[in-house]
Structure 1
């Protein structure tokens, strides 16, 4: 069995269609029709896209399909003129977002009963809190279930092009919480463009008055476990 056949075995295990796999990774629809070993560049792209996949198993067939339990911590790239101060030790509360009325209310209150646990990671920029991600708008950079660590901020201090946790008002009684890149809008200074990592989600321009809460994402945590 070649590495292409093992890739199909993994996709069957995860319930991922061949079409979605090829579309997400930019491969030809006939890529999986070849039963031989794939090139190194293709294998590296697959392993980057599916971090739980065991590279030794994919390339040689040896060992388990999935990695042993691991935790990936990614500090978001901040190519800005300002430099974040690093904290040797800090205890970051992990909040239950479903237990509060919204992101704005969470930032205001931070009541203990809404804290699920605390996270301790050395040498991170200052973070105000952490929540679990839902949805696939930032896939594959962020997957549903990943934990994001954030620093609350105001719109006046925004760095365009960075990734933010936002609460966006749809109307007087409805809003939604999302993770997006915030970029300048062609519609003028009173608007911003929200951009997803996932190419299936179209960019959207919104008026800045629709943003009720904002936080800069500092790091993410992904836990890879054996199924």
Structure 2
């Protein structure tokens, strides 16, 4: 495999087109396709600066692994270091949303400055690779709540009608811990608004949702779909006209199906349960 082929492999891993990759780096259109033997030192440094998880040795020689680190492993190390068992405990500690943590995992990137701010004594080499001695942390705490017993948080001011991600990012949001045996952990409880999924999901009900990777969706089932502009919908997902599109279908036949480009979608949530109005 050539340097060019390895770079294309990395670009595909990042779910980027070559054009988007080139734009992100400030390279000319078609740069990747025009690589012959190797990459110039200035261009290589730019790539490493923008994508620090890319293993330079692997890119140039094929030796070692493609990535210098995996953010999922880093998150697991942080949780173990802090005596946390659930992702939501870590997001609470860092002051970020569960959506942000999901994006970190998906993009294999994270906010190093935030980690350093929260854990100033953390050793970068241990954090990225797990090698060396785990630093001593005297701040290990799960806080005032015993988060190991809760299923997730209910956000009473957030509905599935629009703006889910933007609202969850708001640190001022009121949230209530919810514990339901058998429902799992790291759930987000939000309100249903509107009648597009009536009678399966009714306005005023509460649904429990959880981030999933798009590759794990089952076509024909309902999901919460969050668009990059913040719009949020509950819809059945079915296959679109090609691999780059999906169909969003309502339960209420009054609403027409919509074919959507995957480029417009930021994240997808599976629906783990519903709390109906008559049960409250």
Q: Which residue of 2 aligns with 1:90?
A: 150
CA deviation map 1:72-98 (0-9, x unaligned): xxxxxxxxxxxxxxxx95332011327
Structure with bigger strand share is 1
Asked whether the 8 Å contact 1:104–1:212 carries over to 2, the reply is no
Q: 1:201 aligns with which of 255, 263, 274?
A: 255
5+ unaligned residues in a row in structure 1: which ranges?
1-87
CA deviation map 1:118-142 (0-9, x unaligned): 2221112445211001111110011
Q: Which residue of 1 aligns with 2:270?
A: 216
CA deviation map 1:43-86 (0-9, x unaligned): xxxxxxxxxxxxxxxxxxxxxxxxxxxxxxxxxxxxxxxxxxxx
Computed over aligned residues only, the root mean square deviation of the Cα atoms, in angstroms, reads 2.7
Compute the TM-score of the two structures, normalised by the length of structure 1: 0.51
Cα drift, residue 212 of structure 1 = 1.6
SS at the partner of 1:212? strand
Q: Which residue of 2 aligns with 1:104?
A: 165
Higher relative contact order (CA 8 A, sep 6+): 1
5+ unaligned residues in a row in structure 2: which ranges?
1-147
In structure 2, the CA distance between the partners of 1:214 and 1:225, relative to structure 1 (3 Å rule), is closer
Structure with bigger helix share is 2
Q: Which residue of 1 aligns with 2:221?
A: 162
SS at the partner of 2:199? coil
SS at the partner of 1:199? coil
Between structure 1 and structure 2, the one with the greater Rg is 2
SS at the partner of 2:197? coil
Structure 2 distance, partners of 1:132, 1:176, is: 15
Cα drift, residue 181 of structure 1 = 0.8
Are 1:188 and 2:242 an aligned pair?
Answer: yes
Compute the TM-score of the two structures, normalised by the length of structure 2: 0.42
SS at the partner of 1:135? coil
